[in-house]
Amino acid sequence: MGVITAANLKWYRCTSYEENDDHGGDIDLTEEITSGQANNIFDNVEDQERIDGAVDYRKVFFRNENVDYYAGTRIWIQANTPALNDKVEILQCGSAAVVGKPVKLTQTNMQFTSAATGVTGAGTSFLSELRPGDRIYNGTDDTESDAILIASVETDTALTLASNYLGTTSGTCQGYVASLNGGAFVDPTSKVHADTLIVGDLAMNKSVGVCIRRTVTAGGADGYTNNSFTLRAEDS
């Protein structure tokens, strides 16, 4: 690893940042996130949300803009919200997924292996579209309920699932990535926490998606002025 400058490690919003089922997608390089700025990730919690409870999602990207690799990257929640009635959790994801619905992947010729974890594709774009934390399935024959978590993405044409695929496996198919709101969000509190997001090496101008879930507990607790949280990314 060479010289890494913190100023060239940046956070960005996703391309579809409106709060709806289409929230998500790829990185938006025109929307850099400035640390410490009010409402740079979430909007304010309204009075009715504190009474009824609420769950909100925001997809952001961590990007290495240094010439050198940012090696062995890990991401965790350095400080969760100080408010007693809400918290944030995180999920690693690729460029394709959105919050409220499945998304068709670029290529149609994916192959799931019966009762096995290997998935292949000819001419597919696994490295750019998918990440561990995403869930995928055979969208030609199956439904989102058949989606399985990705354990690792080896190349653009090969990846490994966290458990055996139990859906339809005959022939090639159209792959889909499941909606982010059904993912396994975690609350890692340190670099060495078991749930810390293991991103790996990020070359120059490469990025990783992180979906953030904010849960507001129902009950009408008082609002908290200047509520905040801190995500931290660090190399190995």
Q: Are 162 and 149 in contact (CB under 8 A)?
A: yes
Estimate to the nearest angstrom the gap between the alpha carbon of 115 and the chain centroid. 26
Distance CA 202, CA 218 (A): 39
54-75 pLDDT, tens per residue? Answer: 999 999 999 999 999 999 999 9
Distance CA 36, CA 230 (A): 9
DSSP state of 226: T
Lowest mean pLDDT among 107-116, 157-166, 182-191: 107-116
Assess whether 157 and 205 both reside in one domain: no
Summary mean pLDDT of the chain: 95
Assess whether 190 and 84 both reside in one domain: yes
Estimate to the nearest angstrom the gap between the alpha carbon of 186 and the chain centroid. 11
Lowest mean pLDDT among 105-109, 130-134, 177-181: 105-109
Predicted confidence at residue 49, as pLDDT, reads 94
* Residue 92 maps to a domain: yes
- Residue 62 forms beta bridges with which residues? 11, 208
- Structural domain tally of the chain? 2
Q: Domain residues for 151?
A: 103-178
Assess whether 10 and 24 both reside in one domain: yes
Confidence of residue 171 (pLDDT cuts 50, 70, 90): confident
* Residue 142 maps to a domain: yes
User: Nearest 5°: phi and psi at 87?
Assistant: -155, 165
Estimate to the nearest angstrom the gap between the alpha carbon of 61 and the chain centroid. 8
* Residue 44 maps to a domain: no
Q: Are 221 and 48 in contact (CB under 8 A)?
A: no
Residue 35 makes CB contacts below 8 A (sequence gap 6+) with 11
* Residue 120 maps to a domain: yes
